[in-house]
Amino acid sequence: LGGSPSAELAKTHNVSEVFALADGTKARLAGWVASKSEVGGVLFLQLRDGTGFLQLVARKPGKAYEEALSASKEEAVVAEGVVRSDPRAPGGKELLLTSLEVVARADAWPITPSIVKSPKAYFDLRHLTIRGRKAQALAKVRAELFRLAFEFFSSRGFTYITAPLIVQAAVEGGATLFKLDYFGREAYLSQSAQFYEEAAICSLEKVFVIQPAFRAEKSRTPKHLTEFWMIEAEMAFADQEDNMRLQEEFVSYLAGKIKESCARQLETLGRDFTPPRPPFPRLTYDSARELAAEKGFGFPWGEDITTEAERSLSSSFDVPFFITDYPLSARSFYHMTRPDRPDVTLSADLMAPEGYGEIATGGQRIHDYETLKRRIEALDLPASSFQWYLELRRYGMPPHSGFGIGVERLLRWICGIRNIRYVTLFPRTPARVYP
Ligand code: 4AD
Ligand code: MG
């Protein structure tokens, strides 16, 4: 049906627009009562709409005061009043109410400070707690990040593609696959769109994907979700150097733009950072391993960098950095190895600083048919599910490389949020599929 809302709901402004209005301007807004307090006969309501928060003021006595008094937390309201400046008001402006109409009543609001302090209770009520100031700010930064990612890749000649989420092959190992019954056959939820991107580059040359990825990782950590969003890019005729340059530019672009366009949200989150600039520091896996050992977080050569070592390494940087030259034994089968060191791959992890750790993994892929075939056989992988992926190498597959970056991992760092659950509206973890 659409069309304009009924006359009673029509508003003249959004909250964010009010801050630019001259004193004395009449405004009509619609939103929710985020909080209410009374100081010396003056009622203060914080009104929330989809664009932010605004202070509403009503003075005793009068109709507006009575109406405002009767409105409770989280009721939906239409507020009319006059804009005025007050340095004590958040943002420097407030609305002196002339009327406040309740459009939808609310029961007593169940979100108490003790609920906010208990993650379990907080996320059990996530359908309501997403109304909080920080939750709103995070959702806004997240939306901006997606917009910027499309902008960045599109402006550089990458074509946006989508790939199936129901798949037969494990891109990143069998251990974290979500199995599903696909009409009697075994299928999985996609861990990464990479293989489909590799097929697509021979048609489109440079592609990117923004879509969910799934990992059945039982580990309950501040950086793992079972369902998350990944931004992936893949380029034909590109080596690992080109790949790392692209990542540096992408991350610098995102951080720089978000710092400008989401200044208000970052302030709400209490986050400040200096956007990085390329080139990012690089250290090899070997030297990262030595550095970690010096700090007391040693691990055997050939294994993945442990969580503790990763945190410690990341804490010693204040800009993002690459760890390059991972051992083949710590990488998925498709990685190309160095010509001078066959036990080491042309791959890198991009690490966020300040203890946040890995945000992206990328590398150059094996483009030679025989080499990939031998790799699949040596690792005794299920050849049938990789058949089409291998076959690509028989039909003009050039050197190519790409990466995948986790949206929630990026947000965690950019917004300064320690636990990844907060940067998505409805997180999925081993313990949580509700709400
Ligand atoms: O490092 P990963 O496993 O690499 C890949 O999937 C490659 N196939 C990507 C590519 O080259 N196209 O995952 C990529 C990124 C990680 O660096 C991390 O940011 C994020 O995805 N990620 C997760 N984020 C949240 N929860 C999880 N369980 C994640 N697993 C990976
Ligand atoms: Mg990785």
Mean pLDDT of 173-199: 97
Is 231 in contact with 271 (CB distance < 8 Å)? no
Give the tokens for residue 162: 């989508």
For 17-22, which contacts have Cβ atoms below 8 Å and span 24 or more sequence positions? 17/51, 18/54, 18/83, 18/93, 18/95, 19/91, 19/92, 19/93, 21/83, 21/93, 22/83
Ligand 1 pocket residue status of 350, Cβ below 6 Å: no
Give the tokens for residue 83: 């804009």
Number of H helices, E strands in the chain: 14, 18
Question: Which has more confidence, 50 or 217?
Answer: 50
pLDDT digits (tens, 9 = 90+) for 76-131: 999 999 999 999 999 999 999 999 999 999 999 999 999 999 999 999 999 999 99
pLDDT digits (tens, 9 = 90+) for 327-376: 999 999 999 999 999 999 999 999 999 999 999 999 999 999 999 999 99
pLDDT at residue 177 above 80? yes
Helix, strand or coil for residue 368?
coil
Q: What single DSSP character describes residue 328? A: G
Q: What is the pLDDT of residue 9?
A: 77
Task: Name every residue whose Cβ is closer than 8 Å to that of residue 271 and which is 6 or more positions away in sequence.
Answer: 414, 415, 416
* Dihedral, CA of residue 82, residue 83, residue 86 and residue 88, to nearest 10: 90
Ligand 1 pocket residue status of 409, Cβ below 6 Å: yes
For ligand 1, the distance from its centroid to the CA atom of residue 123, given in whole angstroms, is 24
Nearest CA to ligand 1 atom 27: 224
Is 249 in contact with 132 (CB distance < 8 Å)? no
Which ligand is nearest to the Cα of residue 406, counting in written order?
A: 1
Q: What is the pLDDT of residue 1?
A: 43
pLDDT at residue 172 above 60? yes
Mean pLDDT of 417-423: 97
For ligand 1, the distance from its centroid to the CA atom of residue 347, given in whole angstroms, is 13
Q: What single DSSP character describes residue 422? A: G
Q: What is the pLDDT of residue 2?
A: 47
**pLDDT-derived band of residue 4, with 50, 70 and 90 as boundaries?**
low
pLDDT at residue 306 above 80? yes
**C-alpha dist (Å) from residue 390 to 8, 89, 233, 240, 319:** 62, 63, 20, 20, 38
Nearest CA to ligand 1 atom 20: 406
For ligand 1, the distance from its centroid to the CA atom of residue 367, given in whole angstroms, is 21
Q: What is the pLDDT of residue 86?
A: 96
Give the tokens for residue 210: 């923004």
Q: What is the pLDDT of residue 188?
A: 98
Average pLDDT, the chain: 96
Q: 110 - beta bridge partners?
A: none
Give the tokens for residue 355: 């203890």
Measured CA to CA, the distance from residue 131 to residue 140 in angstroms comes to 12
**pLDDT-derived band of residue 390, with 50, 70 and 90 as boundaries?**
very high
Q: What is the pLDDT of residue 5?
A: 58
Is 148 in contact with 257 (CB distance < 8 Å)? yes
Could you tell which of 409, 413, 417, 420 is best to mutate to test the pocket of ligand 1, judged by most ligand atoms within 8 Å of the CB?
A: 409
Residue 113, amino acid: P
Q: Where are the beta strands (DSSP E) in 316-369?
A: 321-324, 337-338, 341-345, 347-352, 357-364
